[in-house]
Amino acid sequence: RRPPSGQHRHCEGCFDRHCHVPVEPDVSCMVINCHLLCGATFHMCKEAEHELLCPLEQVPCLNSEYGCPLSMSRHKLAKHLQVCPASVVCCSMEWNRWPNVDSETTLHENIMKEIPSEECLDTALALRDQKVLFRSLKMVELFPETKEVIKERPTVNGEATWEEMAGAVGGADVDLVPRGSLSTTNEEMAELSQEEREALAKTKEGMDLINKEHAASALTKSPSGCESESKRKNASGKEQVSRDNNAVGEGVAKGKEPQETQKKEDFHTAVETVGLAPWQDGVLERLKTAVDAKDYNMYLVHNGRMLIHFGQMAACTPKERDFVYGNLEAQEVKTVHTFKIPLSYCGKRARLGDAMLSCRPSEHKAVDTSDLGITVEDLPKSDLIKTTLQCALERELKGHVISESRSIDGLFMDFATQTYNFEPEQFSSGTVLADLLTAASPGGLHVELHSECVTRRHNKSSSAFTFTCNKFFRRDEFPLHFKNVHTDIQSCLNGWFQHRCPLAYLGCTFIQNHFRPPGQKAKVIYSQELKTFAIKPEVAPELSEGTKNNYPSGCGRKSQNSLTSLPLEILQYIAGFLDSISLSQLSQVSVLMRNICATLLQERGMVLLQWKKNRYSHGGTSWRVHREVWQFSSLFSKIKSWEFNDVTSMSEHLKTCPFNVVEHKTDPILLTSMCEPRDQARKTLVSTFTNRL
């Protein structure tokens, strides 16, 4: 019902619940109660307004834009938010793991010899972390010299690239790049930059080695950049210098022939030969042609007063007003184009150091190995996994460094200190360590069993490998997940939740789980498929056999054993008792189970939005919501407290531990007091001091 264009004259100010003013058109109307019976009483013309705040009004959830389909009374909105399926949180738990190079290798080997048990929690988690790690270690980043040579892309002229990249960062800046004046290779360059942009977004160092010329030219900024700009400026028109008093007239070309390394010398020669003293007429014009913008500005800073005094340059304020501003140093006002940050700086600021590394020119130098006595081909091949892990942590792990910087002739040069010889000689740019595992030992554990927790707020910029949880949960599920999984289990794996034999350092793989969920018997497992911990209730084996027909009458009703024989509402009732992780498992079994679980999505699941990038013909992009995605989280039933498992003492195991080798000494051993001669004077503490006195 549309509200009237204006409130009734009387009703506008009337809030009397018992108003008895007679009804008059355009003046007043009758008083009514809220039709939802919330208790409010108001003039009828205010009904639409009341709907905006009636607590019983049916409204969509506050998260309706994020996928929540539910509507409810307004007064239930807040309570619903706690369990809203669109209220989703991503777990940001981090933990660290060092690679194991020297320590406890026997234990790791022995563990990998056995079939991995789902109850062996620390091993399972370590293996999962290792898998993630190996998929992320790119070989060419660590060993750039092994990158396989691929066909060179056409190298792009530095000046045009500068413009394109500049445009890419700040959005299409049409004024700056008049397309008509560029060469025909513009499209190619545009494509290259787009690819480059994407490569920058993906690669760790923010730069692809092949395009290092681009990077080099971009990073050397002003000279070539300004050169291209100035060329274009002169082509398209003169730039206006905006100031209060425009006396210098023509546009400023920011230096026509930049000299990269010799700008200083040129400047000096310019001053001497061409006559660049501040009192000489035309000095500024000569200066502009001789030096680049930076030196021009420096000259102005140093000689500004004199230039103004001798009339070479107009002051910001007219001379007549000098008495007011007399003590200020006049400065020429110039418009400077916004400095477009090169993509390499934008892309990965934190890794700026790495970005600089890759654009330094490199040269291969041979090392004389004749004193080894074997040919280069016979040199032992480096262990792929161990070497990769060591080099990934080169600073931290025992100081292994691939190269060290030395200063030579005022420049820093990196000298390689180690070289590695791998079986597969060349790697493509996308090869990760996981791809090479078939060649190396496939079933090894190369990371430490125990993990550490150093959050990202601590200074650990290049310490051990970091792993994150990154799982999605509904807001009310998140505290349970964090408590049970990360706090109770994961953080306590080292020696509290699980106990390893004290002789594990010798290689014993015996392990005991000391805790279980309360109530009925259940065990904690790590599910590799779901990549998380889960609870598995223990069921007597004969009861879980589905094929055995325990039905007494035995009249061939095998289908009766199937869960699907139960009516739908019962299946739904059973599903209502399952935790989120079990629902996600059950939904993968059959179409019927999937549909049953789907009925619980709104109540127990969560909804996420999937975004899609739209590209437009003019080059711009925008993100749009593509669709809603419903899923169950990996949360298991809440465990408020843990109970002790009935396990025997560790000493029982030690009696039979194969690594428990007892040494029986048979030869007599001298006690220490038997070694010294007895007739030596006994020294007391007091006698030590009295002698000195």
Asked if 584 touches other proteins (CB under 8 A), the answer is yes
Cα distance from N-terminal residue to C-terminal residue, the chain: 109
Count of chain residues binding other proteins (CB under 8 A):
74
Shorter beta-carbon distance to other proteins: residue 76 or 197? 76
Long-range contacts of 352-360 (CB under 8 A, 24+ apart): 354/204, 354/205, 354/206, 355/205, 355/206, 355/207, 355/215, 357/205, 358/144, 358/205, 358/207, 358/209, 358/212, 358/215, 359/207, 359/212, 359/215, 359/216, 359/219, 360/414
- 387 vs 584, which CB is nearer to other proteins? 584
Which of the ranges 226-234, 329-337, 413-421, 579-587 carries the binding residues for other proteins, by CB under 8 A?
579-587
* Shortest distance (Å) from residue 107 CB to other proteins: 28
Residues in 616-635 at the binding interface with other proteins, rule: CB under 8 A: 625-632
Q: Locate tokens 């790791």: which residue?
A: 108
DSSP-assigned beta bridge partners for residue 339: none
Beta-bridged to residue 447, according to DSSP, are: 99
Nearest distance from C-beta of residue 594 to other proteins, angstroms: 7
- Closest contact distance (angstroms) between CB of 539 and other proteins is 5
Residue from the set 519, 619, 620, 658 that interacts with other proteins by CB under 8 A: 519
Q: Which of 68, 196, 587, 653 binds other proteins (CB under 8 A)?
A: 587
Q: Does 574 bind other proteins (CB under 8 A)?
A: yes
Q: Sketch the per residue contact string, 589 through 608, with other proteins: x for CB under 8 A, - otherwise.
A: xxxxxx---x--x-------
Q: How far apart are CA 285 and CA 296, in angstroms?
A: 10
- Residue whose structure tokens are 């001379």: 319
576 binds other proteins (CB under 8 A): yes
> Can you read off the two tokens belonging to residue 254?
């920011």
11 makes contact with other proteins (CB under 8 A): no
Q: Give me the 520-539 binding string for other proteins, x by CB under 8 A, dash otherwise.
A: x-x--x-x-x----xxxx-x
Site for other proteins in 551-570 (CB under 8 A): 551-553, 557-567, 570
DSSP collapsed to 3 states, 323-335 = HHHCCCCCCCCCC
Q: Is 211 exposed, middle or buried (0-12, 13-18, 19+ CB in 10 A)?
A: buried
Establish if 278 lies at the interface with other proteins (CB under 8 A).
no
Shortest separation between residue 579's beta carbon and other proteins, angstroms:
7
Q: How many CB atoms lie within 10 A of CB 594?
A: 12
* DSSP for 509-576, written as a single string: --EEE-EE-SSS-EEEEEETTTTEEEEEE---GGGS-SSS---SS-SS-GGGGSGGGS-HHHHHHHHT
Cα separation values, 453 from 120, 463, 492, Å: 20, 12, 11
Q: Which of 46, 270, 585, 659 binds other proteins (CB under 8 A)?
A: 585
Query: In 311-383, where does DSSP find H-type helix?
Result: 322-325, 343-347, 352-358
Note whether 429 binds other proteins by CB under 8 A: no
Question: How many Å apart are CA 373 and CA 391, to the nearest integer?
Answer: 27
Between CA 477 and CA 420 the distance in angstroms is: 48
Q: Write out the binding residues for other proteins, residues 57-86 only, by CB under 8 A.
A: 67, 83
At closest approach, how far in Å is the CB of 491 from other proteins?
A: 22
Residue from 91, 121, 84 nearest 497 by CA: 121
Alpha-carbon span 51 to 49, nearest angstrom: 5
| Of the candidate residues 169, 199, 609, 657, the single one contacting other proteins (CB under 8 A) | 609
Q: Which of 578, 596, 635, 653 binds other proteins (CB under 8 A)?
A: 578
Mark the segment that binds other proteins (CB under 8 A) among 364-372, 382-390, 426-434, 548-556.
548-556
39, 311, 353, 546: residue in contact with other proteins (rule CB under 8 A): 546
User: What gap in Å lies between CA 87 and CA 550, rounded to an integer?
Assistant: 46
* Residue whose CB is less far from other proteins, 321 or 627: 627
Cα angle, residue 586 at apex, residues 583 and 590 outer, rounded to 5°: 140
Give the nearer residue to other proteins in terms of CB position, either 468 or 590.
590
Three-state secondary-structure class, residue 97: strand
Binding mask 311-350 for other proteins (x = CB under 8 A): ----------------------------------------
Please give the structure tokens belonging to residue 203: 């690669």
DSSP string, 40-93: -EEEGGGHHHHHTT-TTSEEE-TTGGGT---EEEGGGHHHHHTT-TT-EEE---
Minimum separation from the CB atom of position 1 to other proteins (A): 30
Verify binding: residue 646, other proteins, rule CB under 8 A.
Answer: no
Distance CA 30, CA 46 (A): 10
What is the closest distance, in whole angstroms, from the C-beta atom of residue 586 to other proteins in the complex? Answer: 6
Mask of contacts with other proteins, 479-518, x by CB under 8 A?
A: --------------------------------------xx
**178 lies in the binding site for other proteins (CB under 8 A):** no
CB nearer to other proteins: give 401 or 589: 589
Cβ pair 187, 129 in contact under 8 A? no
Could you give the CA distance from residue 522 to residue 533 in angstroms, rounded to a whole number? 13
Q: Which is nearer to other proteins, 311 or 546 (CB)?
A: 546
Q: Give me the least distance between CB of 481 and other proteins, in Å please.
A: 14
Q: Is 550 in the site for other proteins (CB under 8 A)?
A: yes
Q: Using the rule CB under 8 A, is 115 a contact of other proteins? A: no
Q: Least distance to other proteins from the beta carbon of 531, Å?
A: 13
Candidate residues 253, 313, 582, 596; the one interacting with other proteins per rule CB under 8 A: 582
Output the smallest distance, CB 337 to other proteins, in A: 42
DSSP assignment letter at 2:
P
Residue nearer to other proteins on the CB measure, 103 or 564: 564
Min dist. Cβ of residue 75 to other proteins (A): 16
Residue 557 CB, nearest approach to other proteins (Å): 7
